[in-house]
């Protein structure tokens, strides 16, 4: 079963519980992603609707890890493009720099002042999830996405994402998106 919903047509209810994929947080708060403004506007409007409806948004440590790692890599790739002779290896040439230290502080500030202001931490229930469940269909899906779907199913979360991989899952979990390619398939 696929429950893909156009985010522009969904009106959150107070009882709704949402789980934002890392790409949504990056669209909303990462200034260096060079994302399309029309896509960002749809997710920003939806976030405002969630806040107005007093719905809940939940976040896991794994999502936070994805946000941090993607954001840091974006910055590294920009610097690597500007100074390719200086930046060959992310860990060796970038993580030991003042630029990286500043970026860590900037990301932490965004997490504390923006993301955590509108979301609630969850325990990810790893100890109660059968490992077999996490490795199902791994030929077709990303491990983290499979994990997020498993948590969403356990917690009755609706996933908000722009990731087209979620359109391939057969799941009872509601997937809310503004991804036009995904929406054309439904």
The domain over range 3-60+116-185 is classified in CATH as 3.40.50? yes
**pLDDT digits over 20-74, tens only?**
999 999 999 998 877 788 999 999 999 999 999 999 999 999 999 999 999 999 9
- Do 21 and 162 contact (CB within 8 A), yes or no? yes
Average pLDDT of 160-172? Answer: 84
Q: Is the Cβ–Cβ distance between 8 and 42 less than 8 Å?
A: yes
DSSP state of 69: H
Locate the domains of the chain by residue range.
3-60+116-185
pTM above 0.85, yes or no: yes
Its sign, for the CA torsion 66, 51, 179, 141, is positive
Structure tokens at 39: 């896509």
CB 179 within 8 Å of CB 162: yes
């Amino acid at each position: 079963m696929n429950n893909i919903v156009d985010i522009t047509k969904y009106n959150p209810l107070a009882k709704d519980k949402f789980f934002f994929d890392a790409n949504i947080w990056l669209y909303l708060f990462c200034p260096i992603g060079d994302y399309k403004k029309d896509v960002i506007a749809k997710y920003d409007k939806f976030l405002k609707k969630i806040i107005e409806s007093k719905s809940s948004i939940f976040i896991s440590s794994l999502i936070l890890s994805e946000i941090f790692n993607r954001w840091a890599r974006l910055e590294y790739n920009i610097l690597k493009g500007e100074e390719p002779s200086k930046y060959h290896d992310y860990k060796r040439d970038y993580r030991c720099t003042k630029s990286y230290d500043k970026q860590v502080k900037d990301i932490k500030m965004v997490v504390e002042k923006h993301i955590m202001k509108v979301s609630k931490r969850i325990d990810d229930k790893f100890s109660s999830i059968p490992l077999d469940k996490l490795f199902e269909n791994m030929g077709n899906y990303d491990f983290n996405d499979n994990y997020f779907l498993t948590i969403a199913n356990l917690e009755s979360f609706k996933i908000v994402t722009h990731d087209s991989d979620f359109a391939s899952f057969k799941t009872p979990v509601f997937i809310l998106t503004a991804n036009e390619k995904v929406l054309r398939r439904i």
